[in-house]
Chain A
């Protein structure tokens, strides 16, 4: 019995560091937030309680649930736009680029921005889209616009553009991997059986790449859903997202219980999406077994 335990010691030692990390910095904070979400705000601070008032407020006050809906809408738009751009790109890389050197170069071109600070990448769009920005100067220079427009920045459009730019690598990576895994002879077999290249894309490549699409969409949606920097930098008054509201509850509004309740709701939404995506992918993978 003793020998058996000694055997397991090295394994436990290896596991202990990440385990301690996860407990200290994930489980305990979550637990604290979860506890706070039932507390009562009592000026100037809050008192321990167990009541669902904070949750009730989120779903009763349009100020909160509309932000949730808007956040969902923006996340959906970012996901759709990323997919629209990422899929053809990944398809082109995997099936059309013959040289593997060019392929990895182009792939890295999409992934490389991940090494650059997130804040910087979001900030760049301010200089591109602003009324004194690169895009406006260009449009005025070409004569398309007679004067700079301020329609490009501080609205939902600028947020969707910025967030798509920031999170598109997370869409490209899983789709690229999924496409690369499709045996080339399946595409050949489709052609052999009289199906045109477009038909092969619709009937063979797309269905077999769905796991990658689902994974990419999940990443992009969840990352966007919890984002609060882009709304702060390039979003306008109609660009406030749920994470901004949470930040303000912990800051200016000094309503930690409501902020915690919002955070719990956000967490639950994201977990539901991840669970759904997991089930969808599992269903899709059966065929590839």
Chain B
């Protein structure tokens, strides 16, 4: 399928020195919900603003539906944006805010009224049409910003940290609502966020950005289960990262030694014996197999001592320390009554094991 947006080797350099976006190449498919994820300063917002036309790339091209829009001003692009702090016009009523994008289309007044009503209905604010923005709550203003941006049914809807100003409960509800709206309208959504949970919940595809570059792009589960680098592994979810040395490479597994423990990782990378690598293990993939006994641990098992227990409601996080001195996190689900009592106590020495499939292997140069 032909992509709706093609970002073709785009760079943006501020003041001739600060590289905000560095040679990004990305295709966005029609109807996709794609999220640009990364910490502040990673270039995600600059990239979004270039799609909207507020920033012009210093190099590269942006195509919208096959047409080169690289240097088109914002008002001539068929995209609309939901701004981070909503950017509602304070001197206009909600209805006129929402109708703002229609004024240039020279529609009949009745048509405008009907469209505004429909759109306000869609975001559940039909009764607020005559209010002023400052009379609404944060969540309501968020919906107005959304209504204003979708009333023209743009080819692409851009969302700049749309939920960051809302409190936790409202944010979760809006995540679901945005997802529903995406399905209902069938528009392409491009969202920017620094919140990994938000990205995982809402996106069809996530683009993790780092220092102006794309660190990895993929579906949420791809990113979570097969992070391409330690950076992604740490930014999307949490990972235990243990340094080790490759001791053996075979067709079925790569064997890595870490301070007397042995990992047998799936052979997904080309490494040579003696090479320094990093093994990544998600805290929830570690199972407690028993207490430490005299027997040497088998492959993919770790002996450690519980230092702290953190109660998270539906799970408990054990902060452990390996005999090598490395810290290790382990999450245990509390699915059944009594599970909390059964969890290892502070100071207990336990053996943890992970499936070979759940291990991620990184080489040192992934670290970028």
Q: Which residues of A contact B74 (CB under 8 A)?
A: 188, 191-192
Across the interface, B80 reaches (CB within 8 A) one of A193, A203, A208, A288, namely A193
CB of A289 within 8 A of chain B?
yes
Please tell me if the beta carbons of A193 and B85 are within 8 angstroms of each other in the complex.
no
Q: Which residues of B contact A203 (CB under 8 A)?
A: 100, 103
Q: Which residues of B contact A189 (CB under 8 A)?
A: 81, 83, 87, 89, 148
Identity of the chain A residue whose Cβ is nearest the Cβ of B148 in the assembled complex = A193
Interchain CA distance A166-B133 in the complex, whole Å: 40
Please tell me if the beta carbons of B87 and A195 are within 8 angstroms of each other in the complex.
no
Please tell me if the beta carbons of A195 and B83 are within 8 angstroms of each other in the complex.
no
CB of B54 within 8 A of chain A?
yes
Please tell me if the beta carbons of A195 and B53 are within 8 angstroms of each other in the complex.
no
Instruction: For the complex formed, measure the closest distance between the CB of A111 and the CB atoms of chain B, giving whole angstroms.
Output: 28
Q: Which residues of B contact A191 (CB under 8 A)?
A: 53-54, 73-75
Please tell me if the beta carbons of B132 and A185 are within 8 angstroms of each other in the complex.
no
Q: Which residues of A contact B83 (CB under 8 A)?
A: 185, 188-189
Instruction: For the complex formed, measure the closest distance between the CB of B188 and the CB atoms of chain A, giving whole angstroms.
Output: 16
Q: Which residues of B contact A193 (CB under 8 A)?
A: 75, 80, 100-101, 148, 152
CB of B281 within 8 A of chain A?
no
Q: Which residues of A contact B87 (CB under 8 A)?
A: 183, 185-186, 188-189
Please tell me if the beta carbons of B104 and A207 are within 8 angstroms of each other in the complex.
no
CB of B310 within 8 A of chain A?
no
Interchain CA distance A197-B152 in the complex, whole Å: 19
Please tell me if the beta carbons of B75 and A207 are within 8 angstroms of each other in the complex.
no
CB of A287 within 8 A of chain B?
yes
* Chain B interface bracket (under 10, 10 to 19, 20 to 34, 35 or more): 20 to 34
Instruction: For the complex formed, measure the closest distance between the CB of B61 and the CB atoms of chain A, giving whole angstroms.
Output: 21
CB of A251 within 8 A of chain B?
no
Interchain CA distance A192-B158 in the complex, whole Å: 10
CB of B335 within 8 A of chain A?
no
Across the interface, B103 reaches (CB within 8 A) one of A195, A208, A284, A289, namely A195
Interchain CA distance A194-B87 in the complex, whole Å: 15
Please tell me if the beta carbons of B101 and A194 are within 8 angstroms of each other in the complex.
yes
Q: Which residues 189-248 of A sit at the B interface, judged by CB distance below 8 A?
A: 189-197, 199, 203-204, 207-208
CB of B109 within 8 A of chain A?
no
CB of A14 within 8 A of chain B?
no
CB of B64 within 8 A of chain A?
no
Please tell me if the beta carbons of A194 and B89 are within 8 angstroms of each other in the complex.
no
CB of A144 within 8 A of chain B?
no
Q: Which residues of A contact B81 (CB under 8 A)?
A: 188-189, 192
Across the interface, A287 reaches (CB within 8 A) one of B80, B85, B134, B148, namely B134
Instruction: For the complex formed, measure the closest distance between the CB of A172 and the CB atoms of chain B, giving whole angstroms.
Output: 23
Identity of the chain A residue whose Cβ is nearest the Cβ of B104 in the assembled complex = A194
CB of A286 within 8 A of chain B?
yes
Q: Which residues 67-103 of B sit at the A interface, judged by CB distance below 8 A?
A: 73-76, 79-81, 83-85, 87, 89-92, 100-101, 103
Q: Which residues 127-167 of B sit at the A interface, judged by CB distance below 8 A?
A: 132-134, 148-149, 152
Please give 9 more A-B residue pairs, beta carbons under 8 A apart, in addition to A189-B81, A192-B52, A194-B105: A186-B89, A188-B81, A191-B73, A192-B53, A192-B54, A192-B81, A195-B100, A195-B104, A203-B103
- Sample (12) of A-B pairs whose CB atoms are under 8 Å apart: A186-B89, A188-B52, A188-B81, A189-B81, A191-B73, A192-B149, A193-B75, A195-B75, A286-B132, A287-B91, A288-B134, A289-B134
